[in-house]
């Protein structure tokens, strides 16, 4: 694309139309730009348009955004996680060099909005090219910085510092490597001195402006500059303490200390933006001193005392306004770091810890208007922070972390002070509960936040209160309150406490509170009814000392009907129509309760009506998953107990499943197929006609095109193969099934699913039915073995051969394989069966392969032939390895790398329903112990040819395995003679 008047006109018109409110001209302009972007020098032309002063500012701004996005897509090859960009042509090197030559001066001369876009574009180039492929950048930035500094041009200074901040950020996030440290050294050599120079100059200007009463407009760019200098300081110091910064630590720390202790009333009172700018600079300082405290404690210790006092004093003056949260949190974090270091003695002075508790912790733990607003307006975000531990970015949590930090060295003092604060707050609440309810909320939050979790367990303990008496006197009154809507934040706190300490509350006490939890499901507060549901759900999981469920169906039987009614009614509250906590509770309760026919009917009606609704617009994957799990557990437990319910459940579920399939609700396809599999398995043969229609659909190749459906379709196909073996052998269905098997095993991402299909075919059908096809099956597998030697594939192949041998006899196995290619069976045994047998895992699989291998060496003429004596000995060696050595000793790391591109497709969207899982069948129920079966078979065989087998064993078996075999013979009293 040449730069001329026509190009200027074309691009100007296109960017003008991209701003049009009318969709048609906007789409045309975007299409034109998209087509033009493939032309060489397109990026350069757009950059020249941005530089053209005669063009309207809005058009140039739109062009700057387009330029930045063009660079993002085409400057460097797309990474593996951006597959969509891979087809785009990259910017040619000569064009790149011209862009690099133009971008810095253009950025510095642009208006602020365009400057910010070009600064981001420059950072994108820097991410790939700086410093090795762009050695001119840093000297150019430094030269421009010094020039702008002499002119006190803070628009340019801040543009340069903003760019430097962007390109230096990589030093915070990348692993320390030699290359990274070389890049860091280059940046330090060129930028550390100019950075300090501009920092000190700006500091002097701030002092002068503040003393002379200069307006806020003069101070703003100066504070912005200092904030950027502090962020660059953080990046350049993150990996390790550079020599330059160590030599000049005093200058930096003196200025840092000043900003923490000085007020700038003109700027701070000039509106929200002015105070925010001062706070951002102070927060950046706190992050820098926290970094030095964590990484350069020894060099920093001389300044520590002053900074602790300054931060403490600063926190005393930071109001509870949410606009000041960031400053409050990084300041408290600094004190926390100090409290856990060797300098914790700074907190040991008389009255220090009580003062921290009263002036910093309690004020920051108290509820604020913002918290109440979040509770009422956005319950999901409130729960995410409050219950799910994502509140590390809140003042409440960070203040409690400070107390925990101090308690690492002063546990007794902290416990005593917090206990006394709790008593004080509870007394205040008791004096006027309606007015002082926040005091009680503060108490509950403190106890919950300061609780300690035992490593590796679910047990939680607290030292600040006596748990049982606190629960009885503070929590139970809230739970027993008859008004489920009064003081909802207190109710939520009490429910959270009960949930957290559920393992410590005795069953007698908890059982009396169950019905109160059921009442709270009808609270109008979304948080309260969510917490009530969560508490019930978590109680269902509590185990007693023996590891058994503490609460059973009998415990909830008296109010089970009311519980389910209230759970379903809770969905009627605004914003709780798809409440995942309620649905999870339904799932958990249905897994425990004794389900009567009447309640089963109510539940399936409730669940299917919700399912019909969410099918219209699936938007909450967690809710949807628990919904399908709830249906699956209800089907499983109710229908297995009372098979007469199956037809009623089918009548309810079929319309939902038909809607999912007919309306192409692809997110739900895997769930629908798994539920259908469950229903098929509950039916007794012959399978009803409506299922056979689904079977025909299942055998259509089109159904298998979407990879995310494959595991669920296989699950459904297995159910049909098991329940309809007669129908399978009619109308060419078996041919279609084997066609599906063939397709599945030919792709690495679905091969395992192909083996599941073949497993079920071999297990479910008589030999006479599969005999015409078996040679084709072996040929398909042999073909795959030639191309793929992946361990997982070969293990599956060994399992399939074993299953066939066990179900249809080793003679049929040997003969059908050799019919494909003469004598191939011996080669397969030698190359695949013997080496991979020891890699088999899973109790049923180990038993199956060990028994099949034993039958081969004891019954099959192929291996008993004198010519195959070595194969016989090595096969026995492999069987003994499998049965006598622990898994970790006989497995090796699988060397293959999964095919990511293929796997991501279905693993990202296929979610297995735990409650609709297929029961694993043991094809060898009559054989209890494969070790005993092995030595008994060997003893019988050896008695027919005494003296022959000990010699083979001695010649071909590993000595350790010979000893293990001898031990097994002795254990089961089966000698090999």
**Range from 420-424, 532-536, 709-713, 891-895 carrying the lowest mean pLDDT:** 891-895
Omega of the bond prior to 552 within 30 degrees of 0, cis?
no
* Cα–Cα distance for residue pair 203/200, rounded to 1 Å: 5
* Cα–Cα distance for residue pair 441/367, rounded to 1 Å: 8
Question: Is the pLDDT score of 899 beyond 60?
Answer: no
* Cα–Cα distance for residue pair 447/472, rounded to 1 Å: 14
- Taking only the tens place, the pLDDT of each residue in 496-511 is 999 999 999 999 999 9
* Cα–Cα distance for residue pair 766/813, rounded to 1 Å: 14
Q: 895 pLDDT band (50/70/90 cuts)?
A: very low
Return the number of other C-beta atoms located less than 10 Å from residue 389's C-beta: 9
Stated pTM of the model: 0.79
* Cα–Cα distance for residue pair 584/590, rounded to 1 Å: 10
* Cα–Cα distance for residue pair 733/731, rounded to 1 Å: 6
Q: 910 pLDDT band (50/70/90 cuts)?
A: low
Question: Is the pLDDT score of 456 beyond 60?
Answer: no
- Taking only the tens place, the pLDDT of each residue in 536-552 is 999 999 988 888 889 99
| Residues facing residue 452 across a β-bridge | 461
340 φ, ψ (degrees, to nearest 5): -100, 5
Residues in the chain: 977
Q: What is the pLDDT of residue 392?
A: 61
- Taking only the tens place, the pLDDT of each residue in 209-231 is 999 989 999 999 999 999 999 99
Which string of DSSP letters, residue by residue, matches 72-129?
A: HHHSSPPPTT-GGGTTSPPPPHHHHHHHHHHHHHHHHHS-HHHHHHHHHHHHHHHHHH
- Taking only the tens place, the pLDDT of each residue in 40-95 is 999 999 999 999 999 999 999 999 999 999 999 999 887 644 444 446 889 999 99
Q: 281 pLDDT band (50/70/90 cuts)?
A: very high
Question: Is the pLDDT score of 524 beyond 60?
Answer: yes
Strands 452-453 and 460-461: antiparallel
- For 815, the token pair is 């003969």
Calculate the average pLDDT of the chain.
89
Q: 454 pLDDT band (50/70/90 cuts)?
A: low
Handedness of CA 24, 26, 30, 36 (dihedral sign): positive
| Exposed/middle/buried for residue 954 (C-beta within 10 Å: 0-12, 13-18, 19+) | exposed
The region that residue 860 occupies, defined by phi over 0 for left and psi between -120 and 50 for alpha, beta otherwise, is: beta
Question: Is the pLDDT score of 531 beyond 50?
Answer: yes
Which string of DSSP letters, residue by residue, matches 441-491?
A: HHHHHHHHHT-EEPTTSS-EE-SSS-HHHHIIIIIHHHHH-S-TTSSHHHH
772 φ, ψ (degrees, to nearest 5): -65, -20
Q: What is the pLDDT of residue 908?
A: 36
Higher pLDDT, 454 or 229: 229
Q: What is the pLDDT of residue 918?
A: 67
| Averaged pLDDT, 836-851 | 91
* Cα–Cα distance for residue pair 163/15, rounded to 1 Å: 26
Omega of the bond prior to 131 within 30 degrees of 0, cis?
yes
* HSE of 733, CA atoms in CB hemisphere, 13 A: 22
- Taking only the tens place, the pLDDT of each residue in 315-350 is 988 887 888 889 999 999 999 999 999 999 999 888
- For 764, the token pair is 């479910």
Question: Is the pLDDT score of 909 beyond 60?
Answer: no
Helix locations, 765-809, DSSP H? 767-787, 791-808
Helix (H, G, I), strand (E, B) or coil at 549: strand
Question: Is the pLDDT score of 919 beyond 80?
Answer: no
Q: What is the pLDDT of residue 846?
A: 92
- For 871, the token pair is 């194969």
- For 237, the token pair is 């110091």
The region that residue 213 occupies, defined by phi over 0 for left and psi between -120 and 50 for alpha, beta otherwise, is: left
Q: 495 pLDDT band (50/70/90 cuts)?
A: very high
Q: 936 pLDDT band (50/70/90 cuts)?
A: very high
Question: Is the pLDDT score of 159 beyond 80?
Answer: yes
- CB within 8 A of 211, min separation 6: which ones? none
Question: Is the pLDDT score of 920 beyond 90?
Answer: no
């Amino acid at each position: 694309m040449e730069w001329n008047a026509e190009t200027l006109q074309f691009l100007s018109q296109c960017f003008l139309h991209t701003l049009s409110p009318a969709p048609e001209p906007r789409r045309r302009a975007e299409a034109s730009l998209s087509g033009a972007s493939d032309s060489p020098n397109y990026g350069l032309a757009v950059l020249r348009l941005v530089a053209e002063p005669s063009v309207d500012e809005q058009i140039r701004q739109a062009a700057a955004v387009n330029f930045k996005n063009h660079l993002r897509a085409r400057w460097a090859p797309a990474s593996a996680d951006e597959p969509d960009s891979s087809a785009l042509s990259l910017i040619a090197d000569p064009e790149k060099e011209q862009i690099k030559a133009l971008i810095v001066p253009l950025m510095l001369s642009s208006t602020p909005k365009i400057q910010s876009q070009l600064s981001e574009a420059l950072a994108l180039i820097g991410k790939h090219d700086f410093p090795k492929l762009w050695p001119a950048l840093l000297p150019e930035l430094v030269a421009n910085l010094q020039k702008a500094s002499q002119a006190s041009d803070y628009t340019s200074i801040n543009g340069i510092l903003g760019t430097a901040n962007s390109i230096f950020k990589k030093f915070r996030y990348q692993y320390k490597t030699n290359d990274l440290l070389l890049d860091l050294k280059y940046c330090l050599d060129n930028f550390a001195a100019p950075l300090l120079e501009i920092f000190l100059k700006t500091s002097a200007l701030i002092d002068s402006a503040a003393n002379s009463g200069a307006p806020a407009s003069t101070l703003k760019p100066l504070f912005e500059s200092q904030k950027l200098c502090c962020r660059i300081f953080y990046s350049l110091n993150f990996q390790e303490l550079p020599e330059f910064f160590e030599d000049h630590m005093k200058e930096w720390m003196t200025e840092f200390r000043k900003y923490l202790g000085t007020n700038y009333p003109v700027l701070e009172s000039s509106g929200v933006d002015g105070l925010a700018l001062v706070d951002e600079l102070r927060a950046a300082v706190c992050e820098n001193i926290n970094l030095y405290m964590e990484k350069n404690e020894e060099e920093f210790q001389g300044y520590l005392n002053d900074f602790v006092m300054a931060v403490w004093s600063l926190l005393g003056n930071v109001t509870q306004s949410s606009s000041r949260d960031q400053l409050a949190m990084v300041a408290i974090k600094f004190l926390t770091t100090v409290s856990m270091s060797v300098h914790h003695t700074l907190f040991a002075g008389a009255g220090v810890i009580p003062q921290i508790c009263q002036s910093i912790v309690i004020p920051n733990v108290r509820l604020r208007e913002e918290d109440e607003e979040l509770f009422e307006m956005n319950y999901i975000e409130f729960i995410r922070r409050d219950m799910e531990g994502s509140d590390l970015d809140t003042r409440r949590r960070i203040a409690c972390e400070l107390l925990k930090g101090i308690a690492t060295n002063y546990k007794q003092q902290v416990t005593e002070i917090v206990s006394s604060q709790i008593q004080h707050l509870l007394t205040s609440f008791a004096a006027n509960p309606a007015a002082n309810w926040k005091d009680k909320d503060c108490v509950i939050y403190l106890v919950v936040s300061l609780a300690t979790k035992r490593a590796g367990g679910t047990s939680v303990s607290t030292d600040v209160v006596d748990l049982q008496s606190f629960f009885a006197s503070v929590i139970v009154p809230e739970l027993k309150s008859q008004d489920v809507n009064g003081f909802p934040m207190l109710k939520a706190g009490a429910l959270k406490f009960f949930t957290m300490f559920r393992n410590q509350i005795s069953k007698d006490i908890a059982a009396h509170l169950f019905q109160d939890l059921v009442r709270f499901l009808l609270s109008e507060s979304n948080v309260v009814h969510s917490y009530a549901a969560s508490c019930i759900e978590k109680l269902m999981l509590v185990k007693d000392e023996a590891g058994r469920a503490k609460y059973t169906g009998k415990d909830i039987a008296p109010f089970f009907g009311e519980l389910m009614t209230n759970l379903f009614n809770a969905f009627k509250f605004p914003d709780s129509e798809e409440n995942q906590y309620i649905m999870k509770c339904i799932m958990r309760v249905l897994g425990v309760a004794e389900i009567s026919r009447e309640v089963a009917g109510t539940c399936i009606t409730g669940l299917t009506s919700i399912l019909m609704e969410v099918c219209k617009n699936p938007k909450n994957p967690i809710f949807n998953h628990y919904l399908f799990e709830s249906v699956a557990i209800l089907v499983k437990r109710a229908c297995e107990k009372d098979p007469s319910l199956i037809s009623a459940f089918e009548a309810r579920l079929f319309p939902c499943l038909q809607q999912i399939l007919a309306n192409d609700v692809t997110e739900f396809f895997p769930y629908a197929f798994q539920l259908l599999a469950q229903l098929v398995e509950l039916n007794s043969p012959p399978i009803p006609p409506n299922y056979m229609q689904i079977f025909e659909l299942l055998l259509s190749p089109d159904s298998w095109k979407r990879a995310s459906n494959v595991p669920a379709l296989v699950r459904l196909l297995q159910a049909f193969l098991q329940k309809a073996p007669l129908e399978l052998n009619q109308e060419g269905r078996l041919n279609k099934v084997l066609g599906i098997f063939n397709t599945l095993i030919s792709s690495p991402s679905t091969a395992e699913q192909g083996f599941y299909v073949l497993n079920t075919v071999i297990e479910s059908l008589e030999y006479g039915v599969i005999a015409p096809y078996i040679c084709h099956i072996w040929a398909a597998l042999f073909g795959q073995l030639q191309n793929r030697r992946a361990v997982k594939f070969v293990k599956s192949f060994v399992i399939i051969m074993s299953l066939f041998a066990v179900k249809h006899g080793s003679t049929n196995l040997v003969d059908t394989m050799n019919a494909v290619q003469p004598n191939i069976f011996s080669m397969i045994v030698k190359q695949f069966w013997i080496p991979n047998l020891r890699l088999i895992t899973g109790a049923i699989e180990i038993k199956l392969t060990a028994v099949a291998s034993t039958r081969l060496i004891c019954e099959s003429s192929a291996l008993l032939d004198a010519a195959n004596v070595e194969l016989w000995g090595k096969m026995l060696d492999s069987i003994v390895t499998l049965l006598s050595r622990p898994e970790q000793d006989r497995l090796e790391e699988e060397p293959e790398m999964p095919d990511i591109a293929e796997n991501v497709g279905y693993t990202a969207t296929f979610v297995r329903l735990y409650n609709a899982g297929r029961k694993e069948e043991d094809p060898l129920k009559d054989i209890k112990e494969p070790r005993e079966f092995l030595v008994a078979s060997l003893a019988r065989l050896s008695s027919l040819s005494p003296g022959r087998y000990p010699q083979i064993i001695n010649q071909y078996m590993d000595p350790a395995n010979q000893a293990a075999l001898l031990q097994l013979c002795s254990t089961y009293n089966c000698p090999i003679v």
